[in-house]
Amino acid sequence: MSDTQQNQPETNNPNPNPSVKPMQTKILYLFTRTPLHVGAGASVGAIDQPIIRERHTGFPVIPGSSIKGVLRDAMSRKEQQDADRVFGKQDAAGAIAIGEAKILAFPVRSAKGSFAFITCPLALERLRRAINNSGEQSSAVPNSGEQSFKVPSEPDDMTCLAGKAVTLERNNAKGVVLEEYKFNVKGDFPQNCEDYLLDLLEDAVWKVAKGRLVLLSNGDFAHFVRNACEVSQHVAIKPDTGTARPGALFNLEAVPAETLFFAPLTPLMRCNEEWKLLEALINNNPILQFGGDSTTGLGFCSVKLA
């Protein structure tokens, strides 16, 4: 018989130590205003400059080191000493652990409503886990203000739960057309889930997501985030002739604008006033630039800490 142990959070707690306070994670939301290229280096594939992705799901991610570098740079422009306190320096580690940003919603072309925001149970479950600080609890997110949501069950492949703004109706059948694929609509996108997601950001473009959210299976979502990212071709121009330089053609992959990421930020035990410094920075609603090619307009994001 397989020996298994059930994870039962402790209830009988005869001798807890009240001085032990858990690290309280907060979530940094990143909403891309322009395409985002966090490069994985060169490639021998069809894409010369691919983006970083999770190996097993293919979901795009922004490494914690990239986020940390951007936040440090933004803070050091105001006060270098503050940046050193929050993010560390040689022989003094930082006071905040910065996790990688995972994808939550991804824009794709839609036959109705111009575009839709797709998500999937895995992405929602990860958000729930980050908020909940645990991967072991039930699927209910604790109340945030008056709102909460449950992660919906995973729909079958080629089916979805969709908002009305992107749902087509013909002959009593409902469907959405994303890129060149038709998905049968099995129901509305859960209202409490939509409300919860829309409240995550104040960005005006994100508010347009109302009625445009589509829940796909994890596999279908993975297909789109792998194959529906932007690929732009570039070539160097010879200044004397104004023509393309031979061999200088390359293509670059980028996550499209209006993609929503979230990253857990955890103040460590030694963190005191540093957290307030970071909150002050982000609560000022900066537009931060992540990834490469800032001078050509890539990577500008709205951010929010909640």
Partner 1 sequence: MSNPTQPQSPTGKSHMHLVTLQPSDVLFFRDGRPMEGSLAGHSLAWPLPNVINHAFHAALHRAGLAQAAHAHRRGRSGHYETDRDRYFGCLKTAGPFPVQNTTGQNAWYFPRPADAQQSHSTSITHFPVASLAGAPDLDPRLNSSLPGPLKYAVASAVPPTKEFKAEAWWSKKAFDAYLKGNGQVEKREFLEDSCLADVESYIGIAIDPETQTTGHGDVEGKIYTAHYLRLREKFRLGVIAEALDKGANGTAPVDLIYQLLNGKPTQILVGGQQRVCTAVRSDVNSHLPLPQGMSSGFQLNKANNKSLVKWVLLTPAIWPEIPAGTSKRGTERQYHPGGWLPNWVCPETGEVLLEYVDPDTRRQRRRLNSEGKGYSSNPAKTARLVAALIPKPIVVTGWALPNEADRTQGGAKSTHLAVPAGAVYYFEADSEAEAQKLAAALNWHGRGDFTRIQNRRSTLLGEQGFGLGVCGTWTFFPNVSERPQP
Binding site for partner 1 (CB under 8 A): 1-17, 19-23, 25, 40-41, 52, 54-56, 61, 63-65, 69, 73, 76, 93-94, 97, 99-100, 102, 122, 130, 133-137, 264, 266, 268-270, 294
Residue located via tokens 């307009």: 297
Count of residues making up the chain:
306
The residue among 236 and 269 lying less far from partner 1, judged by its C-beta, is: 269
DSSP assignments along 226-275, one per residue: HHSSEEEEEEEE-TTT-SEEEEEEEEEEEBPSS-EEEEEEEE-TT-SSHH
Closest CB 251 distance from partner 1, rounded Å:
19
- Minimum CB–partner distance for residue 55 and partner 1 (Å): 4
B/e letters for 268-283, b = 16+ CB within 10 Å, e = fewer, are eeebeebbebbeebbe
Q: State the Cα–Cα distance between residues 170 and 118, nearest whole angstrom.
A: 22
Q: Which is nearer to partner 1, 88 or 211 (CB)?
A: 88
Closest among 50, 66, 101, 100 to 226, alpha carbons compared: 50
Write down the least CB distance from residue 23 to partner 1, Å. Answer: 5
Record the tokens describing residue 210, joined without a space.
Answer: 């109302």
Q: Of the two residues 22 and 246, which places its CB atom closer to partner 1 in the complex?
A: 22
- Which CB sits closer to partner 1, 22 or 242? 22
The residue among 23 and 236 lying less far from partner 1, judged by its C-beta, is 23
> Whose Cβ is closer to partner 1: residue 102's or residue 212's?
102
| Min separation Cβ 177 and partner 1, Å | 30
Q: Which of 197, 180, 166, 174 is nearest to 306 (CA)?
A: 197
Question: Least distance to partner 1 from the beta carbon of 8, Å?
Answer: 6
Q: How far is the CB of 137 from partner 1 (least distance, A)?
A: 8
The DSSP letter of residue 290 is -
Residue 301: exposure state from Cβ atoms within 10 A (0-12, 13-18, ≥19): buried
- Which residues pair with residue 93 across a beta bridge? 88
Smallest gap from residue 107 Cβ to partner 1 (A)? 23
Query: Given phi > 0 = left and psi -120 to 50 = alpha, else beta, which region is 298?
Result: beta
Find the shortest distance in angstroms from Cβ 20 to partner 1: 5
Q: By C-beta, is 148 or 266 nearer to partner 1?
A: 266
Closest CB to partner 1 among residues 132, 184: 132
For the chain, the distance separating the N- and C-terminal CA atoms, rounded to the nearest angstrom, is 45
Phi, psi of 176 (to 5 degrees): -125, 150
